[in-house]
Amino acid sequence: MLAVTPADDLAARAADPFCGSGVLGAINELADFSHSKAIADLISDGNPAKDRLILTLGRIGPPRYANFIGRWRDDADPEIRRSVASALGSLDNPGVTIPVLIQLLARGTAADAFAVKWEASESLVRIAKRPGGDAVRPRLVALLGEPDGVTAALAARTLAAAGDARGVSKLREVAGHVDARARQEAVLALGALLDNGGAAVVRRRLKDDNLAVRAIAIYALGRIAGAAAATELRAAGQDALAYEAQLEARKQRGETEETLRQRYGLGVFDLRETLQQAVSP
């Protein structure tokens, strides 16, 4: 799925991993706990579909299979690590799943590590919302001080989704982080949480020097404030488009597209479509 707006980006993160593979999708739908050992054997044998088989095993396997799935947390393939992160959220074995998921959330700063970190945070949200899920919270609180802003933002998002106010406070703080990607994730989470108390923080990002952060701030403020902010959002959209034109002019003068994308978020999101989604009912 092409992420044209922040909403599209969120939807892409939740895309069906079995889409486009009817056979694997059917196996995932029809398998039950009695197939656990057979699927585990396929995984151990290095089946090319190991990433999706891990997801199926997480869905159908008894809790003891958390140990088996956790063996693949260090796999060189980020898609397999991502499947491990997702699958562990389905198994009720917190003594095994929580430490592994915290490790996957905290590890890595490369671009291909983000999907793994995101899935780990999603699984930790699921665990935190179950009976006895309070065991997750101290581990997440410990990550709030991580120097990597994206890790701190995702840990804060997980805490906030579990109803812990410390997570919300940290998201508001990370929204001003030096790392643009950290700011993006923090503002995106504040919008998803409909955090009225963080609206002022989000508004400050409407003037961010990174266009992707601006786009996410427009989207987030639309979620938080709704139709009442339509005039403000349109003005912010026009400002962002003018800033985008300035960056495009710099590209014409010789600055590389990749530099402008990485440093200023040029071309990450379609500003007009983002604004349209933000002001639509």
CA count, 13 A, side-chain hemisphere, 250: 16
pLDDT digits (tens, 9 = 90+) for 179-232: 999 999 999 999 999 999 999 999 999 999 999 999 999 999 999 999 899 999
What is the C-alpha separation between 58 and 37, in angstroms, rounded? 12
Domains in the chain: boundaries: 204-281
Q: Is the pLDDT of residue 268 over 60?
A: yes
- Give the global pTM: 0.93
Crossing angle between the packed helical segments 149-161 and 114-128, to the nearest 10 degrees = 20
pLDDT digits (tens, 9 = 90+) for 234-266: 999 999 999 999 999 999 999 999 999 999 999
Contacts of 17 (CB under 8 A, 6+ apart): 51, 52, 55, 83, 86
Confidence class of residue 1 from pLDDT cuts 50, 70 and 90? very low
Residues 222, 112, 136, 37, Cα dihedral to 10°: 120
pLDDT digits (tens, 9 = 90+) for 129-141: 998 888 999 999 9
Residue in the structure block whose two tokens are 């780990």: 120
Amino acid at 59: R
